[in-house]
A and B are shown apart, each in its own frame.
Chain A
Amino acid sequence: EPEVTQTPSHQVTQMGQEVILRCVPISNHLYFYWYRQILGQKVEFLVSFYNNEISEKSEIFDDQFSVERPDGSNFTLKIRSTKLEDSAMYFCASSALWGLAGGPKQFFGPGTRLTVL
């Protein structure tokens, strides 16, 4: 069964550095998402992406964040200047068609644990 994959599994960085988290969504999916989960807390929506542009973003997704689909398979999240409070698990998710009386299933990747020192 196809799965969402993410790399790296763990990223350690210094405060102020840039990081890029990578995701390979399920191949026939059209909608892509990033979520984050601070340790012991709930999963929080960051951004959704469809048709090569951002569809929606939360208040967490400020100017230091950006997303890109650089080719036909990868979906990336860039954090420009990391802060201590960016330390969290970042999950990528993908889904097929949206709409038509409610949404389709979102499948999550294994996550990237980001530690900002």
Chain B
Amino acid sequence: GENVEQHPSTLSVQEGDSAVIKCTYSDSASNYFPWYKQELGKRPQLIIDIRSNVGEKKDQRIAVTLNKTAKHFSLHITETQPEDSAVYFCAADGGSQGNLIFGKGTKLSVKP
């Protein structure tokens, strides 16, 4: 089955800097790669997603890139703000009915 690896596990940046989180997946049949942001004690919130027929997608300060050949995808956050501090999870679709396989998460801390 699908396996998703995520790095780094923790990331600390200064406000205004960029942050990059990387994920790799194992199943070449995966076609959908969402990113979720989870604040402490809250639900995972979808922040951006990308499908396999697209190499890059951007939404304001957030962008995701996908390299299907290498089976890796990355989240880029520019001009980070303290409210970006949270745990970020990448995921890949693991089956025909859309179950998501998550990475272990990256705890992002943005220092003012």
Contact with B along A78-117 (1 / 0, CB 8 A): 0000000000000100010010011111111111000000
Chain A interface size, under 10 / 10 to 19 / 20 to 34 / 35 or more: 20 to 34
Binary A-proximity of B47-81 (CB < 8 A = 1, otherwise 0): 00101110000000000000000000000000000
Q: Which of A5-53 contact B (CB under 8 A)?
A: 31, 33, 35, 41-45, 48, 50
A68: interface (CB < 8 Å): no
Of B42, B51, B52, B98, the contact of A48 (CB 8 Å cutoff): B98
Asked if B25 is an interface residue, CB under 8 A from chain A, the answer is no
Within 8 A of A (CB), among B80-103: 89, 91, 93-103
**B43 touching A91 by the CB < 8 A rule?**
yes
B7 at the interface (CB under 8 A from A): no
B99 touches A48 (CB 8 A): yes
Residues of B near A101 (CB, < 8 A) are 31, 51-53
Contact B102 A44 (CB under 8 A): yes
Q: Which residues of B contact A35 (CB under 8 A)?
A: 100
Question: Once bound together, how far apart are the Cα atoms of A35 and B100, in whole Å?
Answer: 9
Tell me if B46 is interfacial: C-beta within 8 Å of chain A.
Answer: yes
CB distance from A94 to the nearest CB of B (A): 10
Q: Is A55 an interface residue (CB 8 A)?
A: yes
| Contact pick for B51, options A45, A55, A91, A102, CB 8 Å | A102
Residue of B nearest to A105 (CB): B46
Known contacts A56-B99, A105-B34; decide if A45 and B94 are in contact (CB<8 Å).
yes
Structural contact, B102 and A95, CB atoms closer than 8 A: no
